[in-house]
Amino acid sequence: MENLGPLIKYLVIGNPISHSKSPQMQNAAFLYYNLGEPYGKIKLEPEDLPEFVAFARKHLMGFNITVPYKELIIPLLDEIDESARQASSVNTVLITNGKLKGFSTDGYGLEQAIKNNFKIDIVNNSFLFIGVGGAAQAVAWHFAKSGAKKLFLANRTIEKAELLAKKIRHAYPNVEIITFKNDDKNQLSIAIKSANTLIQATSLGLKPNDINPFDFELLKLNPQITVIDLIYHQTSLLAFAENNNITYACGKDMLVYQGARAFFIWTKLSPPINLMSQALEI
Ligand code: NAP
């Protein structure tokens, strides 16, 4: 950690980390405000986390957390924002006078991406999640808090969806939550007919030979549905949407808006969204 250099004040931590484009995105925002390029990245092993946190207290102003540490970081923090606590997921830490406060900006990021691409608000609308891993859980909590009417949670491991549903229902009894397996065509058909947006939140689609996370043909049941894939590039789902005139978006805007929210938490400056988005193309 010593070889990071004194100019680094912000980091993204994870494992793997070499693929992360957060440094170029965040540094574009810092440069816009003439604040240099203070954002770096570092790969950590799980046993390095306590040492990293001790280092961060002394030398950093904030950091982002990506897979697999969004939950593991929590016991090492001094304070945690309510929505991050509910979701057991922290992707942003603000350091003030050596104290670490955790936030989750993934839900905000997807909310803004859906607004930006589809002009759909969260409040009073219905969302179908395919996959309820870490990212989807943070988003589902945020959507429940933001007044979503109905959440459909489809997952390969049904127990995970049911546990999430139970916790969210307890905290937000007004949100209707329906769970099923992602290969249950009957339930999927019902959900697709009623949801405003389908959120593809499995990791399927990252590799070219991945199987499809659900039967895409069912999307034809609702030509008005909008589809967003959390994966950053064009997946087979998005290609299907394109070929069938279904409105869609990839995960890029979510990445930009979750990062923009982190930038605001650290600096209280208005994030230059377009510059941050352009920086990801480099
Ligand atoms: P995660 O916690 O590992 O969850 C993976 C999800 O994929 C689980 O729901 C898992 O189901 C499902 N899955 C994996 N293999 C499967 C298979 N063969 N068949 C059916 N389902 C399968 O991952 P995560 O952190 O939530 O990330 C999910 C995706 O979102 C990743 O592609 C990640 O890159 C992307 N992401 C994007 C952003 C952004 O800003 N755009 C932010 C965060 C994450 P089980 O529960 O049954 O295992």
Q: Given this model, what pLDDT does residue 83 score?
A: 85
The protein residue whose alpha carbon is closest to atom 46 in ligand 1 is: 157
Whether pLDDT at 1 is above 70: no
Q: Are 31 and 62 in contact (CB under 8 A)?
A: no
- pLDDT, average across residues 183-204: 97
- Testing ligand 1's pocket by substitution, the residue of 71, 110, 139, 156 carrying the most ligand atoms inside 8 A of its CB is 156
Q: Given this model, what pLDDT does residue 17 score?
A: 95
- Testing ligand 1's pocket by substitution, the residue of 132, 202, 237, 248 carrying the most ligand atoms inside 8 A of its CB is 202
Whether pLDDT at 151 is above 90: yes
Residues 263-277: tens digit of each pLDDT: 999 999 999 999 999
Amino acid at 144: A
- Distance of CA 133 from the midpoint of ligand 1 (Å): 5
Q: Given this model, what pLDDT does residue 173 score?
A: 97
What is the rounded CA–CA span in Å between residue 282 and residue 280? 6
Residues 42-82: tens digit of each pLDDT: 999 999 999 999 999 999 999 999 999 999 999 999 999 99
> Is any ligand 1 atom within 6 A of the Cβ of residue 35?
no
- Distance of CA 150 from the midpoint of ligand 1 (Å): 21
- Distance of CA 130 from the midpoint of ligand 1 (Å): 9
Q: What is the dihedral of CA 276, 202, 68, 232, to 10 degrees?
A: -20
Residues 70-129: tens digit of each pLDDT: 999 999 999 999 989 999 999 999 999 999 999 999 999 999 999 999 999 999 999 999
Whether pLDDT at 224 is above 60: yes
Q: Given this model, what pLDDT does residue 268 score?
A: 98
Q: Given this model, what pLDDT does residue 208 score?
A: 84
Residues 10-20: tens digit of each pLDDT: 999 999 999 99
> Is any ligand 1 atom within 6 A of the Cβ of residue 271?
no
CA 151 to chain centre: 17
- Distance of CA 205 from the midpoint of ligand 1 (Å): 10
CB atoms within 10 A of CB 75: 10
Whether pLDDT at 33 is above 70: yes
> Is any ligand 1 atom within 6 A of the Cβ of residue 165?
no
Sequence-ordered list of residues with C-beta below 8 angstroms from that of 198, at least 6 positions apart, any chain: 127, 128, 130, 192, 219, 225, 226, 227, 228
Using DSSP, state whether 273 is helix, strand or coil. Answer: helix
Total-model pTM: 0.95
Supply the residues annotated as catalytic: 70
Amino acid at 46: P
Backbone angles phi, psi at 215, to 5 degrees: -80, 105
Residue 5's pLDDT band, with cuts at 50, 70 and 90, is confident
Whether pLDDT at 2 is above 60: no
Residue 205 CA, closest ligand 1 atom number = 32
Q: Given this model, what pLDDT does residue 237 score?
A: 97
